[in-house]
Structure 1
Amino acid sequence: MTIVYESALDLRHYQQRFQLACAAPAPFVRPGDRGLFVRRPRGDRGGASPDSRYEAAQGRWGLIPLFANNRDYPATFEARGESAAAERDFLQPWKRGHRCIVLADALYRRGENDQRMVRVTRADGQPLALAGLWNGWRSPEGECVESFALLTLPSEEKPGERRAVFLREGWLDDWLYCPVEEAAACLRPYDLSKLVRAPVDGPSLRSTS
């Protein structure tokens, strides 16, 4: 389970990959915090350029489904890639093709004990491209609240554990634009040799946020 991720802070990544100019995201994002994600431009709003294929949005990490009664809907930080299409919380975003990408310099997950975490990065220094689902929820007051969840798959190394889905570099556009029935094909285990995993102390991480 991902505990926190470190946003990609070099805005050139958004410009080079998605031709987007956006404000700097929060350095560290925990479940319930607001994070930056990239998606296809929303069809119900006129903010994006007609020629733009991508849009940057800020939303809560923790997807709020359409049927939720309030914005504090719990436990939707991660969506199981193999079953999200049939799960009540994620069914509508999946069917609507509400897929997104979160660029992260690193993510952190639990280590062998509660005092240690594992920091995961790409070996080549490029940001991780995390696959996600997003939703726009209408509050009782009429406010549209953006939110997202990260997709996960079972760990190949440790049965019973789950890992965030890292998208291959050439699949970013496919993930956002492919037909719904083809989306699951993008959710594949990442080549572990292309990742660096380093143990870190939990308290020291908390002190930097």
Structure 2
Amino acid sequence: MPIQYEPTRDPRHFLAGFGLSVPEEQAPVVRPGAQGTFIRRPRGDREGAAMTGRFEAARGRWGLIPLFSQDREVPYTFEARGETAASERNFYQPWKRGHRCVVLADALYRRGDTEDTVVRVSRADGEPLALAGLWNGWRAPDGECVESFALLTLPAVEAPAQRRVVFLREAWVDDWLHCPVEETAAYLRPYALDKLVRRAIVRDPSIPLPKRQPPG
């Protein structure tokens, strides 16, 4: 199911949790295909790179661009199924390379029961949601390195036919980013529903929701 999220902009969450400075200006709501900020362990494969901390913030397209792609406009890579991402053509390279990331969001928006409503999901304690994801660096034909990411999903606890983004427990974030590849799946677990606030709201009809993804 297509989703949107409200990125965290409060600098305290980046500084206290990761020792990072305030990220550059972010849109009020990030939609599939737009640029978003994600946190990862520092890249060590860049020329002159110096790993001085455990985390770094990066900007990239929400919609992972696979290494084999000939074009950056790849459809339907906004979400990666947690059960199968390790073997899916679009996602297995980032998975096996340990290219995991976290997106901090004050709220996540998904479709409601009707076309004119959305459900806003946030944490009951007011802290940001830590959305689990995979990132990739893709080399464009002109030589530009384009970074991108996808959010991981699992079947919804309350409605198994639907998908929900993986929310990481706060104590797991560091381990998620730094654990060995073979331990990745252990962190993909349903989040406790009683720790979330879900509110149905009537959406602004001038702001279209993204189209539904085809099954599969």
Whether the 8 Å CA contact 1:11–1:24 is kept in 2: the answer is: no
Going from structure 1 to structure 2, the CA distance change for 1:49 and 1:23 (only over 3 Å counts) comes to farther
Aligned positions of 1:1-209 closer than 5 A: 1-21=1-21, 22-45=23-46, 50-203=51-204, 206=207
1:53, 1:74 → 2: CA distance? Answer: 32
TM-score, scaled relative to structure 2: 0.92
Higher percent of residues as helix: 1
TM-score, scaled relative to structure 1: 0.95
Whether the 8 Å CA contact 2:123–2:197 is kept in 1: the answer is: yes
* Number of equivalences: 207
The aligned amino acid for 2:112 is G
1:49, 1:56 → 2: CA distance? Answer: 15
Whether the 8 Å CA contact 1:38–1:100 is kept in 2: the answer is: yes
1:66, 1:40 → 2: CA distance? Answer: 20
Going from structure 1 to structure 2, the CA distance change for 1:19 and 1:47 (only over 3 Å counts) comes to farther
CA distances 1:66-111 after superposition (whole Å, capped 9, x unpaired)? 0001000111000000110000000000000000000000000011
1:205, 1:15 → 2: CA distance? Answer: 35
Whether the 8 Å CA contact 1:3–1:109 is kept in 2: the answer is: yes
Percent sequence identity over aligned pairs: 65
Q: CA RMSD in A?
A: 1.5
2:143, 2:70 → 1: CA distance? Answer: 12
* Cα distance, 1:47 vs structure 2: 7.4
1:48, 1:19 → 2: CA distance? Answer: 18
Going from structure 1 to structure 2, the CA distance change for 1:12 and 1:32 (only over 3 Å counts) comes to same
* Cα distance, 1:194 vs structure 2: 0.3
Residue ranges of structure 2 left out of the alignment (5+ in a row) = 209-216
Whether the 8 Å CA contact 1:120–1:196 is kept in 2: the answer is: yes
* Cα distance, 1:2 vs structure 2: 4.3
Does the residue aligned with 2:86 lie in a helix, a strand or coil? Answer: helix
Whether the 8 Å CA contact 2:100–2:135 is kept in 1: the answer is: yes
